[in-house]
Amino acid sequence: AQKITQTQPGMFVQEKEAVTLDCTYDTSDPSYGLFWYKQPSSGEMIFLIYQGSYDQQNATEGRYSLNFQKARKSANLVISASQLGDSAMYFCAMREGGSARQLTFGSGTQLTVLP
Amino acid sequence: DGGITQSPKYLFRKEGQNVTLSCEQNLNHDAMYWYRQDPGQGLRLIYYSQIVNDFQKGDIAEGYSVSREKKESFPLTVTSAQKNPTAFYLCASSIVAGLASNEQFFGPGTRLTVL
């Protein structure tokens, strides 16, 4: 079974508008962390935001916020006031409890910001 | 500047040849990781290492080998046993101890093409 599911292969958004990128996850571990990374066409992976399973509040980092719904096992990324430079591939990833600290990645969402 | 370097950026290999991808970090991170990314897909874990002289297989280790003789270096060898090695390879590192929120930092990647 997929541990991280991103159901939107591609998304379009108008510049200056907000966009939500979906991510659902599957784990039986009560301790886990959820990450979002951005991958521009250059290929590098850029860390955006983190949400821990025990965090009471949704994470925010500048224009990025994470809509964390634990009961639904979803961790959607919200980008406010989209910019042309936001056009990239976005990956959701999960780290389950334990010492190994590997990340499991979803298949990604290609976001295109339109001028 | 602290970061992760990968070399070369582009690599071409003939079928049947082994090739080694370099990954060096000066972040003083204990853990290092190798991922493979195929076009339009997410990252899959090949190998990871949490400490010098120790490493573990990830989800797709067959046809690959690694070594961790120094904290800063985690080279990946793609052997002739890897049936479909053409892909984008990403190296990452992270702190092991401490907060679960410690993200993985990624290198710029190596694009391997088998001719």
pLDDT tens-digit profile of A11-57?
999 999 999 999 999 999 888 999 999 999 999 999 999 999 999 89
Q: How confident is the model at residue A99 (pLDDT cuts 50, 70, 90)?
A: very low
Contact between A34 and A25 (Cβ < 8 Å): yes
Of A50, A102, A105, the CB nearest to B42: A105
Residues 6 or more apart in contact with residue B44 via CB below 8 angstroms: A105, B35, B36, B37, B58, B59, B60
For residues B53 and A47, what is the distance between their CA atoms, to the nearest angstrom? 28
With CA atoms as reference, the chain B residue closest to A59 would be: B101
Residues 6 or more apart in contact with residue B39 via CB below 8 angstroms: none
Residues 6 or more apart in contact with residue A90 via CB below 8 angstroms: A21, A36, A37, A38, A39, A48, A77, A108, A109, A110, A111
Contacts of A37 in chain B (CB under 8 A): 106
**Torsional sign, CA B105, A28, A109, A83:** negative
Q: For residue B65, what pLDDT is reported?
A: 97
Contacts of B94 in chain A (CB under 8 A): 101
Contact between B63 and B78 (Cβ < 8 Å): yes
Contacts of A9 in chain B (CB under 8 A): 40
Q: For residue A96, what pLDDT is reported?
A: 86
Whether residue A115 is preceded by a cis peptide bond, meaning omega within 30 degrees of 0, is no
The CA distance from A9 to the nearest CA of chain B, in Å, is: 9
